[in-house]
Structure 1
Amino acid sequence: MLARGTMKNYYTTAAYLKEFVKHEFRRSDIYLSELDYSFIAKLENFLRRHQPENHQKKLENNGLMKHLERFRKIIRLAVKMDELDKYPSLYFN
């Protein structure tokens, strides 16, 4: 089981992912099979230029990289659970 603070961080990453998918694809969700290099590059670009609407500051590089790291862990879990055919290692050098 993960600590409460760790879960809070994953919820924040999930919120950024949902906001990205809504902004980029005009949908509420996408299939894991739609993940490709373009998706990850666009996600990174979105996080770099995204300005939160509430009182939060813009993401700095370290925070952005932590969100991408958590996203990578989620993808690895999807592969282990056979939800995704192959780990897109090409996308996460």
Structure 2
Amino acid sequence: MAERKSLKYLIDYHKKTQSNILSNGTLAHYKTTEKYLMDFLSSVKKADDVYIEEIDYQFITEFEHYLRSFEPKDHQRPMSHNVVMKHMTRLRKMLNMATKLEWIPGNAFNRYAISYTKVDRGHLTELELQTIISKK
């Protein structure tokens, strides 16, 4: 049997192999997802790592619940539905990579639906535009 790979190993491998492909902004988003995953492992699973074959549907739904109930300390609002879904999408992409590399036989995300809520952002008002223009 091949060597078992952990979630931290997968994250590091993804970072190493995708750093020349993904933009700096996208890599920063993956870093944020990694931070939430490590916090989730520590606070909910009481572990510092997990083997990727142990990431099942229950793990996925518990991580989603963790994100939805996360109380931010550095900004005012909790994560919106779409922000939670973006973190879930990034985890799914890393697990898809592990499946393609044959590190795991299948991805538990195959039974998990990712959905986004359409958001109408509207347009900036004249006052909002002037505020941006006058910002130092």
- TM-score above 0.5: yes
Distance apart, 1:14 and its partner CA: 0.7
Larger CA Rg, structure 1 vs 2: 2
SS at match of 1:68: helix
**Alpha-carbon distance in structure 1 between the residues aligned to 2:65 and 2:103:** 26
TM-score (normalised: structure 1) = 0.90
**Alpha-carbon distance in structure 2 between the residues aligned to 1:47 and 1:37:** 15
Distance apart, 1:26 and its partner CA: 0.8
TM-score (normalised: structure 2) = 0.63
Does 2:30 align with 1:38?
A: no
Alignment partner for residue 75 of structure 1, among 79, 91, 95?
A: 95
In the alignment, which residue of structure 2 is the partner of 1:26? 46
How many residues are treated as equivalent by the alignment? 92
**Alpha-carbon distance in structure 2 between the residues aligned to 1:8 and 1:84:** 26
Could you list the runs of 5+ residues in structure 1 that have no partner in the other structure? none
SS at match of 1:25: coil
**Alpha-carbon distance in structure 1 between the residues aligned to 2:59 and 2:73:** 23
Structure with greater proportional helix content:
1
**Alpha-carbon distance in structure 1 between the residues aligned to 2:39 and 2:62:** 12
Could you report, residue by residue, the CA deviation over 1:6-33 in whole angstroms, capped at 9, with x for unpaired residues?
0000000011011101111111101111
Distance apart, 1:56 and its partner CA: 5.9
Superposition CA RMSD, Å = 1.3
% identity of equivalent residues? 34
Moved over 4 A (4+): none
**Alpha-carbon distance in structure 1 between the residues aligned to 2:88 and 2:94:** 10
Distance apart, 1:84 and its partner CA: 1.1
Could you list the runs of 5+ residues in structure 2 that have no partner in the other structure? 1-20, 114-136
